[in-house]
Every structure is written in structure tokens, then in C-alpha cells.
Amino acid sequence: MSSTARLEGLVTASYGRHYQVESGELQIECVARGKQSESVACGDRVEFKLTSPDQGVVERILPRASLLYRSVAHRSKLIAANVDLAVIVIAPIPSYYDALVNRCLIAAQAANIEAVICLNKSDLGETADAVFAQLAPYRNLGYAVVRVSAHHDINALRPHLEGKISAFVGQSGMGKSSLINALIPGTATATASISTALDSGKHTTTSAKMYRLDASSRLIDSPGMQAFGLNHLSAGELDHLFIEFRPHIGHCKFSNCRHIHEPDCAILAACQQGKISAVRMSAYQEILKSLTS
């Protein structure tokens, strides 16, 4: 094998502009150059060249099946590529933002990724019961909602992960890393060894890390977020991403209706008739406002 041969691999972690790439039995620490350097995501399949036995340069990102990302101001922040499922993790403590759950759902919908809402820390008794009750609107929309405890029982989540690449997203402190630890015992050790190799001060914070659950399933841990910017979406596509709006779209008086306060708006009418929940209606309006202001 010549040292300049192109190899193919899977990006299993991204640390700022450094990437852990898995290629067969090899674990390579790669950098990406030029405009490539901000566009590689955990989960990407890439072509790379070795520059030493365990270091390389990413040459090309192979076509993606999906890309989950959010916006920070007007720049995209990639979360993970080639993901099948977004596991939106919430918990009763610390308190979670419903707006963030909606925004994660919309981002998943926009990326054509399945989503499941995972209520963690259900060992916390009555507070967990109250949060579970608040999630009824999402269950009614057909989104899967599961209750688990990373410390006691995570079985309700398992069937959703089978055969998929799943990205765990949500606020920090909800238990994303704990859930992955519970699903894959020993993850903490793996985390520690990678971080000594890569998080040694010269690299920026980890943005995402992938773990193998079984031969056909992978899990991606992502750092917590306090906000989920959706500036990459256009105002015109937003209503379609609220799945319960779809039967009513196209029935407004004005073809360019934004469903805020226009006359004869089919979406507002559906909301008044209780076919669209007031919570989701205001979530839509809040996101729309953030895209156009």
C-alpha cells in the first residue's frame, strides 16, 4: 500500500477541526483542510490519506443520507451525519424547555430523520409523571415518547435503536451520556482513553462521539445545547415541518399565508377547532418570527 493511497473510513468523533476516523481495524486521527474543515461531521463517511501510521487528512466527504444540524447566528453547526434517528432527551430535573423539544423535532423533520422523545430520570417519581403528562401533545401527533431511567431501566428505548444510527440530542444535564453509558457498559472507559489522546488542550471541545451498540446499531453522543437555531430553514418550508399542519396547507385564502393573523387562514381555523394544539401553534409562530426577524 502506498502512503498516498486513499482510504475510506467513518468519522466516529469530531473535536473542533480534528476527527477520529475508523477504517477497518485502524483508528486514525485526521485533520481536514480548507473549506472541508468546517463541514465534516461525526457519522460522515470520508476518503482520507495517511500522513503517518495513525494520522491522516480528510480528502473528501462521501454523499450523506442525512445531516442533522442547527444554526448559531447565521452559521451552521453540524451535529451528526447519516443519522436515522434523533433521540431527544429530556428530564424533569433540570427543567427542560418545551421550545427546544419542538425545535429538535422540526430539525429532525427537515432532515428527514425519525425522532423519539426520551423522558429520562423517570426514577424521580411524581415530577417525572407530571412531565410525562405534559408530553401528551407529542404522543397525539404520533411521535414516539418513551420513559426511561439511565440509572434503573432503559429497556423502553432499546427497540427504537435497533439497526440504526441514533443521535442523542438535547440540553445538557438531561442524561444523554448516562443513557449511552447504560446502553453500552464500559463507554466511560472508552471515552476516557480517547479524551487523553485527543482532548489534550490543543484541540477544542468535542462536538460529537459515536459508539457501537451492536453490529448494526450505533449511538452518537452530542454536547448539550441551550438553544437550537433553525436559521437554515426558510420561512416558506416551516409550516410543512409541523406535521399536523399538512392537511390544512393550501386551504388558506392567501397562497402566501404565514398563518399569523391573516383572514380566512385554514391553519388558524384548525387551531380554533382544536385540531392543532395552541402550544404547537405558538411554537410555529415563535420559530417563524425568529426566521424572519
Binding site for ligand GDP (CB under 6 A): 120-121, 123-124, 149-151, 172-178, 224
Please report how many Cα atoms fall inside a 13 Å half-sphere around the Cα of residue 277, on the Cβ side: 14
- In the list Zn ion, Mg ion, ligand GDP, none, the entry touching 257 (Cβ below 5 to 8 angstroms by class) is Zn ion
Per rule CB under 5 A, is residue 265 in the interface with Zn ion?
yes
- Residues 144 and 160 sit within 8 Å (Cβ to Cβ): yes
- In the list ligand GDP, Mg ion, Zn ion, none, the entry touching 267 (Cβ below 5 to 8 angstroms by class) is Zn ion
Instruction: Report the C-alpha gap between 139 and 225 in whole angstroms.
Output: 24
* 210: nearest Cα among 227, 192, 228, 187: 187
Contacting Zn ion (CB under 5 A), which of 70, 176, 218, 259?
Answer: 259
| Choice between 85 and 233, CB closer to ligand GDP | 85
Q: Which stretch binds Zn ion (CB under 5 A): 80-88, 97-105, 192-200, 267-275?
A: 267-275
* 160: nearest Cα among 242, 91, 217, 79: 217
| Choice between 70 and 258, CB closer to Zn ion | 258
Residue 102 C-beta: closest distance to ligand GDP, Å: 18
CA 71 to chain CA centroid, Å, is 12
Instruction: Report the C-alpha gap between 115 and 66 in whole angstroms.
Output: 13
- In the list ligand GDP, Mg ion, Zn ion, none, the entry touching 20 (Cβ below 5 to 8 angstroms by class) is none
Residues 6+ apart with CB under 8 A from 5: 49, 50
Instruction: Report the C-alpha gap between 47 and 56 in whole angstroms.
Output: 10
Per rule CB under 5 A, is residue 257 in the interface with Zn ion?
yes
Instruction: Report the C-alpha gap between 196 and 191 in whole angstroms.
Output: 9
Q: Which stretch binds Mg ion (CB under 5 A): 25-33, 170-178, 226-234, 254-262?
A: 170-178
Residue 29 C-beta: closest distance to ligand GDP, Å: 24
- Residues 208 and 194 sit within 8 Å (Cβ to Cβ): no
Per rule CB under 5 A, is residue 270 in the interface with Zn ion?
no
| Choice between 8 and 129, CB closer to ligand GDP | 129
* 47: nearest Cα among 69, 25, 34, 63: 63
Per rule CB under 5 A, is residue 177 in the interface with Mg ion?
yes
Per rule CB under 5 A, is residue 248 in the interface with Zn ion?
no
| Choice between 109 and 207, CB closer to Mg ion | 207
Give me 277's grid cell: 394544539
- Residues 93 and 126 sit within 8 Å (Cβ to Cβ): no
| Choice between 194 and 252, CB closer to ligand GDP | 194
Residues that bind Mg ion (CB under 5 A): 176-177
Residues that bind Zn ion (CB under 5 A): 252, 257, 259, 265, 267
